Structure 1
Amino acid sequence: MDRMRHNKSDLHVLQWRVGCEVEQQGDEVKFLKGIDEYGYDGEDFLSFDVKESQWVAPVEAALPTKRKWDNVPILNQYIKGYLEKECVDWLNKFREYGDKKLRNGSPPNVYVIEKKNTNDETKLKLTCLASGFYPKDVMMIIRKTQTSLPEDEIESTGIRPNQDGSFQMRKSVEIKKEEKDEYDCFVYHRSLKEPIIVKWDGQ
C-alpha cells in the first residue's frame, strides 16, 4: 500500500494463487505449467517464471519484492521444485482419491425445492434435485400420496454432469399449494441400500 501510495484507511485486496497444470500421457503425468502469482486490487502484481527461475514484475511497485526474492536463489529453486514435482504429486494423489470415490459409487444428495407461481398464487412449482451421484443411472420419481405421477406431467432436465465427474438430475411439477404435503421425491441409485424419500420441509 505504501508503494502504491494508497490510503491506509481504504480497503485493498492481495491475492495469491499457487498451482500446477499437468497432462496425462499413458500412465505418466507430465508437468505442463507452474503458477505462483500475486494480484493487488485485481491487477497482476508479481509472478514466478518457472523456466527462468525468477520473478516477473509487471508493475514498478513490485520491483523491490522481485529484487529481494531473486537475491535468494535457493528460495527460487525451492519454488521451481515445488511446482514441478510436489504440486504434481499432490494433484495426482487428489485425482486418485476422486477416481477411487467415483469407482466405489457415490450416493446422491436429494433436495426438494419449492417455487411460487407468480401468475397463480394457488399453485407452486415443486422440484426434486438429486446431485453428486455416480455412476449416472438413477431412478427419480415425484409421487403424490405415494403414487408415481405420469411422466407427461413432469418437466425433467435429464441427467447432467457435475464438474467433479459425478452427475445431477432435476424433475419439476406444478401442484396446488394446499396439496404440497402430499408430495414426495423418491430416488433410487445403486450406491444406496434403500431408496431416499424426501418431502418438502419448508427450507
Structure 2
Amino acid sequence: MRSVVLLLLGVQLAYAGTHSLKYFYTGVSGVTGFPEFTTVGLVDDGQFFYFDSNEKKAVPKTEWIRQNVGADYWERNTQISIGSHQAFKNNIEIARERFNQSQGVHTFQLMYGCEWDDQTGARDAFLQYGYDGEDFLSLDLKEMRWISPVQQGIITVQKWNNDRADLENDRNYFSTVCIEWLQKYVEYGKSSLQRKVSPQVSLLQKSSSSSVTCHATGFYPSGVTISWMKNGQDHDEDVDLGELLPNKDGTFQKTSTIRVSPEEWKNNKFSCVVQHQGKSLTEDKIKINIRTDEGDSLPIMPIVGVLVAVVLLIAIGVIVFVVYKKKQGFKPVSGSDDGSNSSAHPQA
C-alpha cells in the first residue's frame, strides 16, 4: 500500500546569524517590451530596492527602507541607474563585437555583495560578471586579482589587474563599506528581517503515475532544505530541487520533485523532509493532493504567488553582467553612499 509522509523539523540552522547585501544589474538587448536595464538590491535575499529603464525611477520595495531614507536617496540612485542604463547601451555593442556576434537577444549581468555573520563576525564578499548566461569575469578577493574563463575577457583581466589603485578601492569597499551598509540596513529592517515564519507545505501530484512535488512556501528567512527519505533512509536519486523563489509578500518558496515508478511508489514509504527555523508543522496542517489507488484526489493546496515569483526572478536576473563604457572599454557601475560599489575599473 502506498504511503507518503511529510515531516517538518523545527531546527536552528547554522546560518541563522548570517546577513547579506546583494546588488544585481541586468541588461537585455533584442527583447521587445522588457526593460533594457534593471537594478535590484537585496538584503537577506529580500528585495528592498528596484529600478528599471521603463519607469526610470528608483523605488523602495520594503517599508523599512521607505521609513529610514529620504527623497535624496531615491533621487541619487535614480540618476545613477539612469546613467548606468545609458552606459550599458553603449557597451553592449562592444561586447557583441568582442564575441563576434550579430544583432539579437543578449544579456549582460553583474552580481556583487557581501555577507556578515552577526554571531561570529565572519565576513565574505563576491563580484561576478556574466555574458549571455555564462561566466565572463570575477574578482578573486583573496588574491585581489581578476580572472576570466574565456579568451574574450583576458584583455580586460590584464588591464584591470595592473590598476592597483582600483583593486585597493575594491578591497576597501568589500571589507568595509559594504559591511557597514549591510549592518545599517539590518538595523533599519530588524523587525522584519528578524521575523521567523514557518513554511506551508504541500505534496502535489498530477496523476497516479506522475512525479510528486514537495512544495514549501510562505517561509522566512530564506534558508530551507527539502530532502526525501525512502523507508527511513536518505534518498537523492531522481530528485530535482527547485530554485528559491521570492513571494510577493517578502516570504519565499521552494520545491523538490521526486520521480519514481507507480510500482515503487506503491511498495515503499517515501517521506519529504523540510527543515527550517521555527516551530514544527503537524501532519494535520499539511495540504496534499496525492492520487489514491482508486484514482481519487485529496484537496490541493493553492500555490499562491508562483506567477509573481517567476516574474520577479526574471527581473532580478541570474548572475549579472553590466558593461560600462570608458572610452573604448569596460568599467562597472558608478557608486553612491548607499552601500553600492563605488569603484571604477580602468579602461578594458
**What TM-score results when the alignment is normalised by the length of structure 2?**
0.30
**What TM-score results when the alignment is normalised by the length of structure 1?**
0.48
Higher strand share: 1
Q: Which has the larger radius of gyration?
A: 1
